[in-house]
Structure 1
Amino acid sequence: MASITLQEIGRHVGGTLCGPPELEIVGIAPADVAAQGFMTFAENEAYLQKALGSEASALLIPRTEVEVDRPHVQVDHVRVAFAKILALLHPEPKPIAGIHPSAVVDPTAQLDETVHVGPNCVIEKHAILGPGVVLTSQVYVGPRCSLGADCKLFPQVTLYADTMLGDRVRIHAGSVLGSDGYGYVLDEGFHRKIPQVGHVAIEDDVEIGANVTIDCGALGATRIGKGSKIDNLVQIGHNVVIGEHSIVIAQSGIAGSSRIGRYVILAGQSGIAGHLSIGDKAVVAAQSGVMHSIPAGEKWMGSPAQPDRKAKRQLIAITQLPEWMKKLKAQFLKDKEL
């Protein structure tokens, strides 16, 4: 098992080292399972006591004046440092550049010499794959798709024609980008299909979970902004625009032509109706059904969704209904006796 020193960790996270710099660390683990040679972490005083009770050789803790009788590294943000240390201890393997014999690559496709194309991948005509792109296995890249530097596509990802990926985009297994948007018009009792002739554009540093579907635009692009993170099993309709650094959590759905701002959080199983606007830094609670646009910075919840304070008052009132019904019935019986 590879190891790093406490000094290397301190330098990597910009922390303050307290303890022997040569101490070897082989991993990082929660306090209840951390063993000798491991580092554990504590974000607050309560977790610090648990960490001190563990067998961990070193601690990762917030900056504090409290004396800690264990080798440790103090940092400004424990969770950020934790992520950096994990990446340091577990670097992602880089596949060897090359094209597997079972892959099918159109002669007009342009592949950088550093690309890795795994078994049974298909790359169609005029596709462009930039430096360091990794297609693991059974990945389909449609005509005229463009993949920026260091993108990684996991097994059975499908990119329909004209899909554009920025740099460092990660797409997990089974996701489909660019399938037809759900567009029909009723014509004399028949649902006539509206051709979907747009595309999907994914900006830099976006990560897309497993089995996500992102429809192409009817006209123009369905766009996911820089740094946004899409969880598993999310559906994004045609011509949706998601701003930079937003988070869409599992089983959420966004109907066509809605615009999601920057740093928005859509919690699990939330639903956004079509043609709405969700302002920057808005938060939508889990299982909320959003039927109206939400101003920037507001928190909404419920179905139909409404501002969270209003929704919470209504929920409290609902829990009090049985007691009020009991009181009302008693008063009714009392009045009847009179």
Structure 2
Amino acid sequence: MTYTVAELAEHVGGTAHGDVTRTIRDALPLEEVTGDAITFVTDLKKLARLEAMDAGAVLLNEKLPLPAQIPAIVVGNPLEATLKIVTLLRPSSAPLPRKIDPRAAIDPSAEIGDDCHIGPFAVIEAGVRIGDRCTIHAHAVIRNDCQLGDNVEVHPHAVLYPETSLADHCIIHAGAVIGCDGFGYKRTAEGHKKVPQLGRVEIAADVEIGACSTVDRATIGTTRVGEGTKIDNQVMIAHNCQIGPRNIIVSQVGIAGSSSTGCDVVIAGQAALVDHVNVGDGSVVGAGCAVIRDVPAGERVLGVPARPEREAKRHFLTLEKIVSRFPEIIREFDNFKKQLGGDSSKRKAG
């Protein structure tokens, strides 16, 4: 698909400047832009870089000057407009056929809704109920008594363990595992004895879970992920956790058993929460944090162990000052030793 600069401006509700008849075939980031592609800039530094590049067109806001040689579209939000243009220039691939592949293994007791796609070698066990317009990709496994709402998508090699529940519009990406046993063992004289994990997992509506992430079933009761929460790749959520609505949980986060989060919480990459802690509504946990105690609502925490942002920054600055003074401290210490009559090696020799 190709469009002129003028047509793209109309599509995003912007104002076109320069050669509005230029044809645009793609939308690319600034580093990769070509003569038939549109990009976006948000500051003067990037605009200066753009001037030296062979860009087909640029999206920018009204606060930035127009480039001298490159057609421009002025919009309120360049990034949002770029996403609209990408969607226009790169229409999604043809939808999968709404049918069940004969190579899928489906138990006769399973209930499949209308207009579903079930790919080759998918496994759907006894007692499963799948809503309308669901997409179960090749090699996905839906184990016994799982329940899926409408418009759910389960990508290849994802596994839903028994009695897992997914509400409407959930997306489970490749390799994710929902409902596996929690990590529970009892230490005995004979070794570690497994504690039976007899609970389940409930995923609320409009949740997306990234590739190779895991959500463990509860020991007793239910592990929950709240409505609208988005979970990145390689995230671990342990048994009996209660994850609130509209959370953002970034890659490689680990949340230990029975911990909970409120609404609109953000947990940045590689942060860790110990068991039985609560992160309050609207809180932000910084990347690499170790949360060892409750985080109040609206708090921003950083560091190991996690502490309030201002306190953590003071700690970092103090530590940086101390480290930067190491050479000076060593010199002062050497001078102090000399004032005491020389270093220890000389005293021993005497």
TM (norm. structure 1) is 0.89
In our comparison, the structure showing a higher alpha carbon Rg is: 2
Q: Read off the aligned partner of 1:248 and give its amino acid letter.
A: I
Q: CA RMSD in A?
A: 2.5
Q: Runs ≥4 in structure 1, deviation > 6 angstroms?
A: none
CA distance in 1, matches of 2:175, 2:150: 21
Identity rate of aligned residues, in percent?
36
CA distance in 2, matches of 1:104, 1:190: 39
Structure 1 residues 195-245: Cα deviation after superposition (integer angstroms, max 9, x where no partner): 222222222332222111110122332222223221211111012122222
Aligned: 1:114 with 2:115: yes
Aligned partner of 1:84 in structure 2 is 84
Q: What is the rounded CA distance, in whole Å, between the counterparts of 1:18 and 1:221 in structure 2?
A: 57
CA contact (8 A) 1:40 1:51 kept: no
- The yes-or-no answer on 1:33 pairing with 2:37 is no
User: Is residue 333 of structure 2 the alignment partner of residue 329 of structure 1?
Assistant: yes
Q: Is the 8 A contact 1:41 1:51 kept in 2?
A: no
1:155 aligned counterpart, secondary structure = coil
- The Cα of 1:48 is off from its aligned counterpart by 2.1
Q: Within 5 Å, which residues of 2 pair with 1:284-299?
A: 284-299=285-300
Equivalent position SS for 2:32: coil
Pair 1:132–1:245, CA change in 2 (3 A):
same
In structure 2, the gaps of 5 or more residues are 343-350
CA distance in 1, matches of 2:231, 2:294: 21
Give the unaligned 5+ runs of structure 1: none
Flag the 1:108–1:185 CA change in 2: closer, same or farther, 3 A: same
Task: Tell me: CA distance 1:119–1:283, structure 2 relative to 1, closer, same or farther (3 Å).
Answer: same
**More deviation, 264-273/47-56:** 47-56
Bigger mean CA deviation after superposition, 307-316 or 209-218: 307-316
User: How has the CA–CA distance of structure 1 residues 187 and 330 changed in structure 2, closer, same or farther, with 3 Å as cutoff?
Assistant: closer
Q: Deviations over 1:50-106 (max 9, x none)?
A: 233332222111233634454333333322333333233333331011111110111
* Partner secondary structure for residue 98 of structure 1: coil
Following superposition, the deviation at residue 23 of structure 1 comes to: 4.9
**Matching residue of 2:48:** 49
**Could you say which residue in structure 1 is the equivalent of 2:59?**
60
Q: In structure 2, do the counterparts of structure 1 residues 292 and 269 end up closer, same or farther at CA, with 3 Å as the change threshold?
A: same
- In the alignment, the residues of structure 2 paired with residue 20 and residue 113 of structure 1 have an alpha-carbon distance, to the nearest angstrom, of 49
Counterpart of 1:99 in 2: which secondary structure? coil
* Number of aligned positions between the proteins: 337
- 1:175 corresponds in structure 2 to 176
Residues 1:298 and 1:121: Cα distance change in structure 2 (over 3 Å): same
Shift of the alpha carbon at 1:17?
4.1
Deviation, structure 1 residue 189 = 5.5
- Give 1:337 shift: 4.8
